[in-house]
Structure 1
Amino acid sequence: MNKGKTIFSQIMSLIPERDFKTCVDRYKGNYRARNFSCKDQFLVMSYAQLTGRDSLRDIENCLTALSSKLYHCGISYAVPRNTLAKANEKRDWHIYKDFADVLLKKVRPLYVKDKFRLDLDNMVYAFDSSTISLCLKLCPWAKYRKNKGGIKMHTLVDLRGNLPVSVYLTSASVNDVKVLDDLYIEPSAIYLMDRGYVDFNRLFKLITKKNAFFVTRAKDNMLFEVVSEAEVDKSTGIISDERIKLTGLHTAKWYPEELRMVTYEDYATSKVYRFLTNNMEYEALTISELYRERWNVELYFYDKNIIMSS
């Protein structure tokens, strides 16, 4: 019989206790807490996340079924769902937000020297959103449509390590592009986004003018004129590599500089994509491959079974 630590206990032993206590004390998280401390709450919610629980009732049933083994996981007892629900509702969320920042600062340097699939020195980020459905009767504040409730999670993922750098929560009705206003832009970094984030006014002011780069997809109704065209190797799937200027009534003013449009055909699906970027130096195929990396943020949303049930 195995008498060593459980895998969960080994993972939790890596948590910096002093930093966690600092975050709890900062917001007086354990004030009037008797049997269920912030540390207990963190362990239970971490266990629920790692084991794929999808509701408070599911968490309670799982803990009850394993009550004889909880001690070896570091969990005091099978927490009733009402106790957990009250803690999740009442305790200051800034505790865990600050602790997440602490963990990111410790983890990100471990991936700095990791090789990126593309031979680039720039930091590469993928930005996307995912809508989390909520029960409208239980969460009337999250009204999205007539009979639907939900919120949006906008996530910036560092593709070296697939680490979430920033997470913004908004109403599900908020347009994705508005969240760009809150994004911290690093000079020389590359931001990969789908065409839902195409707002030329914001792209120019928030990214180009800060000496950063973006790669996105052009919308079908975009008005432009071709300024010049570079030779391409069509055997790679690249159809054209053009420098363009916007000619729309407003877009020409919002983005007065030249843009680069790379047209690429995916031979596997016979689909044609038009990629838009302000980077004029990388090879056309590199621009196409960069956008392919954006799918990592989609995989991030798919892999994370986010527990939002009430």
Structure 2
Amino acid sequence: MKRLQIIDSTTITLFSNLLFKGVERHPKTGKKKGGIKVHTVIHANEGVPSDIKFTSAATNDSFMLRPSALNKGDIIAMDCAYIDYEKLETLTLRGVLYVTQMKKSLKYSVMEDCMYQTTEGFMEVRIQHVAFSKVLKGGETLTHHARIITYADTQKHKLVSLLSYSIDFIGQQ
């Protein structure tokens, strides 16, 4: 627990769209939401924020993910808004363990796919080793290796997929 940090944000909607650049469009009215986004880092063993930043509601969350502030063996938990392949690759190379929610729209290549079943024949967990590719500004291609871990949430009756570091590639230079 001492090494676990949780990063998340929440948007506080304000009364006026004039104060801040809006984020998202309301599905019925088409108007943008105005507001403030509160970005927070919490050390799990302390239960209080260690870093708080305020931005306009339109600011992308991934700016709070700073691999240089994390060390080998640190664990970071975040939601899917923080997915940035370059930052995730840097975390992996630094030996930082991460877990985040999987976005359905992500494109990847499956390198290995293994499913474990219960004795009744139902899926217990599925682990896929995958590779994400991104063309960087200079034309170089970045490849990030990771795992997608899928399990059945029996209470909500749905499959949950998490994106995590790849054990095979953690800390390799």
Q: Normalized against structure 2, the TM-score is what?
A: 0.73
- Find 1:129's aligned residue among 1, 4, 9: 9
Larger CA Rg, structure 1 vs 2: 1
| C-alpha separation in 2, matches of 1:257 and 1:202 | 10
1:210: how far off?
A: 2.2
Aligned to 1:220: 104
Question: How large is the RMSD of aligned CA atoms in angstroms?
Answer: 3.0
Three-state SS of the structure 1 residue aligned to 2:131 is strand
Aligned to 2:20: 142
1:123: how far off?
A: 0.7
Higher strand residue share: 2
| Aligned positions, number | 156
1:163: how far off?
A: 1.9
Task: Establish whether residue 154 from structure 1 lines up as the match of residue 39 from structure 2.
Answer: yes
Q: What amino acid is the match of 2:106?
A: M
Task: Establish whether residue 170 from structure 1 lines up as the match of residue 55 from structure 2.
Answer: yes
Q: Give deviations 1:181-200, integer Å, cap 9, x for gaps.
A: 49722331111111111111
| C-alpha separation in 1, matches of 2:11 and 2:115 | 41
Gaps of 5+ in 1: 1-115, 117-121, 282-310
- Find 1:275's aligned residue among 158, 162, 166: 162
Higher RCO (Cα < 8 Å, 6 or more apart):
2
Q: What amino acid is the match of 1:214?
A: Y
- Find 1:185's aligned residue among 58, 70, 78: 70
Three-state SS of the structure 2 residue aligned to 1:239 is strand
C-alpha contact 1:264 1:273 (8 A) present in aligned 2: yes
> Cα gap change, 1:153/1:258 in structure 2, threshold over 3 Å: closer, same or farther?
same
| C-alpha separation in 2, matches of 1:279 and 1:239 | 16
Q: What amino acid is the match of 2:103?
A: K
Aligned to 2:147: 260
C-alpha contact 2:151 2:159 (8 A) present in aligned 1: yes
Three-state SS of the structure 1 residue aligned to 2:59 is coil
- Give the percent of matched residue pairs that are identical in Structure 1 and Structure 2: 24
Higher helix residue share: 1
